[in-house]
Structure 1
Amino acid sequence: MKLKEMYDLAVRKGIENDPRGKKEVDKILKKAQQSFEELKDDEKKEFDIEKLANPYSDTRILFGDPETEIKNVLSGIDIEVGEVLIGDRLREKGRQVDLLLAHHPEGKALVGLYDVMNMQSEILEIFGVPINIAEGIMASRISEVKRGLLPLNHNKAVDAARIFGIPMMCIHTPADNMVTTFLQNLINKKDPETVGDIIKILKEIPEYEEAVKIGAGPTIVVGDKKRKAGKVFVDMTGGTGGSEDAFSKLATAGVGTIVGMHIGEKHRKEAEKNHINVIIAGHMASDSLGMNLVLDEFAKQGVEIMTCAGLTRVAR
């Protein structure tokens, strides 16, 4: 596959699995096109053209010719300077590495991480929170994340990849969409009665089964295994953690249990205060599941996959 074909396929699978539905995503792309057309010529130079076809600003080709033929990929949850060196060392030892593929964003995709958080408002609406309230509580959180990203050394790993001449790409929200939809559909189908039943469902999935072996498996951080699960919200996409103010609104909307990748202590306390059960499925395990669903699509096209940096490879 060519690098651009892999990128386009990842975006397409992300859209297909977007919790908001393709119709809503198409509206966003249409608005991006309208915004671009309304810009003056000098303003268009600063516009990220990728937004016209890719609604996920945290997913980008970071370095390399899009027409490069990719046969072998080294993929990890994080591709930082150390992983770039691993890729170069593998090349020295005779292993073919055509692409460094990260899950977590680097470079310009890291700069744009905050922008995908807008989708959380629409996801909250799906689970019963009025959109005006959802947008209101997310606005300050998005601004907070944007400010927090400003001082980071965004291009450190990308520069290393450039020095060694290894193409680099990251796939964040599309993979998160895939794990979210996969788990939400599975849990909805199995209709667990208790929080403990959800834990059992998760532990039957190979990525979580492997995580259990190192003590990083699914964990109940609010509630206990005997509590009724109620309406289950798989909260694993939308850039990064949302607003702590969402928990009271979700409780009012009837959500009984949240299944997430990770949670901060302030957020956990808000969930506890609002009597919402919280299961942390595991960050690396959940990211591995999402990436595996993407990597499977590449493997179908004959791309060879090597993994590193916390990515547990399971082919389906």
Structure 2
Amino acid sequence: MAVDTEKIMQVGLDLAGWKKMPADSAVHVKGRNINKVLIAIDVGAAELMLARQLGCDAVIAHHPIGVASVNFYKVFDRHVDFMMEHGVPTKTAKEAVAKLKERVETRNHADIYSEVVGAAKALGMPLVNIHQPCDEYMRQVILKAIKSGRTEYVSDIVRSIGKIPEFSNAATKVQVRLGSEKNRAGHWALVVAAGTNGGYHIAKAYMQHGVSTVIYLHVDYGDLMKMREDKLDGNLVVMGHLAGDSIGLNGLADQLEGLGVETVRVGILPGR
């Protein structure tokens, strides 16, 4: 059955079990009677043209574009919630997130954010981006996988994540960037679906307040070097960006196909 862009967004929210659209997601160009969609993690003018060539009625991006990229930093407050759940004092959590928000907001302020949305409007191609809801679904899948296995050692966590199809199908493997697989995992925290990785300041806040193992999707090299230079006492597991994002987009695509919408998955790792 045909859907519209509002229904596509609703499917994404339902995937996460949410009711409200977060600031990093948006319907950029509205559309109706959508029977076939192209889904990709990053979308530019090339993906829009590919969608037109393949006979798609709409494009779904994962990463924020347009106004959603400008507002991206607004979803980072979820890091505060996660840290408080793991025993980090509220003041410490808020200070760490404030540093992250300032860095990203400053960077995004310089972006030419209108280009992709402008191209979609010129082509008459409906365009949606769904970021945090897909990441939340990914978080739930990974959390279930970790909890279903042993968590005594860091290697146990690495092994459980690696069994998820998207991670086993990835060229990049789950890595321990700080600490060692041989270490006891202790109190661990899965830190995803809060917009972006927490970087140095958030990992430090966790590790200084009783969390022995922090699990990120990815980490900047500069942040990692700072963790090593400061000799943070803990383990940092980095799972892999493409594999993690693929979990969320495969979940979204599967739901849309259940509604009768054909999906063209571009650059997404298989989930089977």
TM-score by length of 2: 0.91
User: CA–CA distance in 2 between the matches of 1:174 and 1:152?
Assistant: 23
Percent identical among aligned pairs is 25
Q: Tell me the residue number matched to 2:245.
A: 287
Give the counterpart letter for 1:207 in structure 2: E
User: 1:65-90 CA distances to partner (integer Å, 9 max, x unpaired)?
Assistant: 3xx02211100110111211211222
Q: Does 1:231 align with 2:190?
A: no
Aligned structure 1 segments of 4 or more residues deviating by more than 6 angstroms: none
Q: Tell me the residue number matched to 2:151.
A: 192
Give the counterpart letter for 1:281 in structure 2: M
Q: Give the counterpart of 2:69 among 101, 107, 110.
A: 110
Q: Tell me the residue number matched to 1:210.
A: 169
Give the counterpart letter for 1:57 in structure 2: A
Q: Does 1:259 align with 2:215?
A: yes
Give the counterpart letter for 2:271 in structure 1: V
User: CA–CA distance in 1 between the matches of 2:21 and 2:98?
Assistant: 18
TM superposition shift of 1:60 = 0.5
Give the counterpart letter for 2:65 in structure 1: E
1:184 touches 1:233 (CA, 8 Å); kept in 2? no
User: CA–CA distance in 1 between the matches of 2:162 and 2:60?
Assistant: 27
Q: Tell me the residue number matched to 1:221.
A: 177
Q: Tell me the residue number matched to 1:81.
A: 45
Q: Give the counterpart of 1:4 among 6, 21, 27.
A: 6
TM superposition shift of 1:15 = 4.2
Give the counterpart letter for 1:123 in structure 2: F
User: 1:182-203 CA distances to partner (integer Å, 9 max, x unpaired)?
Assistant: 2123212323222222222122
User: CA–CA distance in 2 between the matches of 1:163 and 1:313?
Assistant: 32
1:138 touches 1:243 (CA, 8 Å); kept in 2? no
User: CA–CA distance in 1 between the matches of 2:126 and 2:25?
Assistant: 14
2:203 touches 2:214 (CA, 8 Å); kept in 1? no
Flag structure 1 segments of 5+ consecutive residues without an equivalent: 17-52, 91-95
Indicate the SS of the match to 2:214: strand
Which region of structure 1 is more displaced relative to structure 2, 228-237 or 164-173? 228-237
User: CA–CA distance in 2 between the matches of 1:141 and 1:224?
Assistant: 26
User: CA–CA distance in 2 between the matches of 1:222 and 1:189?
Assistant: 24
Q: Does 1:56 align with 2:13?
A: no
User: CA–CA distance in 2 between the matches of 1:222 and 1:252?
Assistant: 15
User: 1:133-157 CA distances to partner (integer Å, 9 max, x unpaired)?
Assistant: 2112211321221111111111211
Aligned residues: 268
User: CA–CA distance in 2 between the matches of 1:222 and 1:140?
Assistant: 22
Which region of structure 1 is more displaced relative to structure 2, 199-208 or 262-271? 262-271
